[in-house]
Amino acid sequence: MRNRGFEIVKGYENKDIHIPIRKTARSAAYDLEAAEDIILPSFQKGIKPTLIPTGLKAYMREDEVLLIVPRSSGPKKQGISFPHNVGVVDSDYYGNVDNDGHIFVQCINLKDEDVVIKKGEAIAQAMFQKFLITDDDCATGERLGGFGSTSKN
């Protein structure tokens, strides 16, 4: 039985996507890389986040979640910031009909000039976590789509 891990998403099988690894034995997170070159426009009021594709999907147990968090060096070195602070990838996102569970990282560029993120460049970290539910939880909905579809049930 598989517990948790990463796979290459449909359409990216031949694009030299790297399965994330932890860099040290005590690292809590797996580094996510950009699946292609992306230009992050310089910050200006009203700018929408740029979605950076990873070419990956993640499988996990039903009581787990994948958290996408910033790299500590992201803002200083790359100008990357997350408009939502932490991304949440639910277990039922894996293999969804809209996008096969493709994980995207939402970013904004804090610098005054455009920033180029190169394919293979580390852009975020991903951590698998258990989660708890309340005694009176009664969730019965099912995922109907991909990115941003949870509230559309």
pLDDT digits (tens, 9 = 90+) for 11-48: 999 999 999 999 999 999 999 999 999 999 998 888 89
- Asked whether residue 139 is domain-assigned, the answer is no
CA distances from 109 to 33, 45, 49, 80, 151 (A): 17, 12, 9, 5, 27
Identify the band that residue 119 occupies on the pLDDT scale cut at 50, 70 and 90.
Answer: very high
Return the CATH number at 116. Answer: 2.70.40.10
Q: Percentages helix, strand, coil for the chain, rounded to the nearest 5?
A: 5, 30, 60
Does some domain include residue 65?
A: yes
User: Is 145 among the domain residues?
Assistant: no
Report if residue 63 sits inside a domain.
Answer: yes
For residue 76, the enclosing domain spans 5-132
Residue 147 pLDDT more than 60?
A: no
Q: Is residue 92 part of a domain?
A: yes
Q: Is residue 113 part of a domain?
A: yes
Average pLDDT of the residues in 111-137: 94
Q: How far is CA 150 from CA 35, 41, 63, 93, 153, in A?
A: 24, 28, 16, 9, 6
Question: What is the spatial order of strands in the sheet that 30-33 belongs to?
Answer: 30-33, 122-130, 64-69, 87-90
β-partners of residue 39 are 116
Residue 58 contacts residue 2 (beta carbons within 8 Å): no
Interior angle at CA 32, CA 30 and CA 142, nearest 5 = 90
Instruction: Flag whether 11 is in a domain.
Output: yes
- The answer to the question of residue 53 being in a domain is yes
Name the residue with tokens 């990216």.
12
Task: Look at residue 152 in the predicted model and tell me its pLDDT.
Answer: 53
pLDDT tens track for 55-110: 999 999 999 999 999 887 766 677 788 887 899 999 999 999 999 999 999 999 98
Considering its fold, how many domains does the chain have in total?
1
Tokens matching residue 37: 């070159």
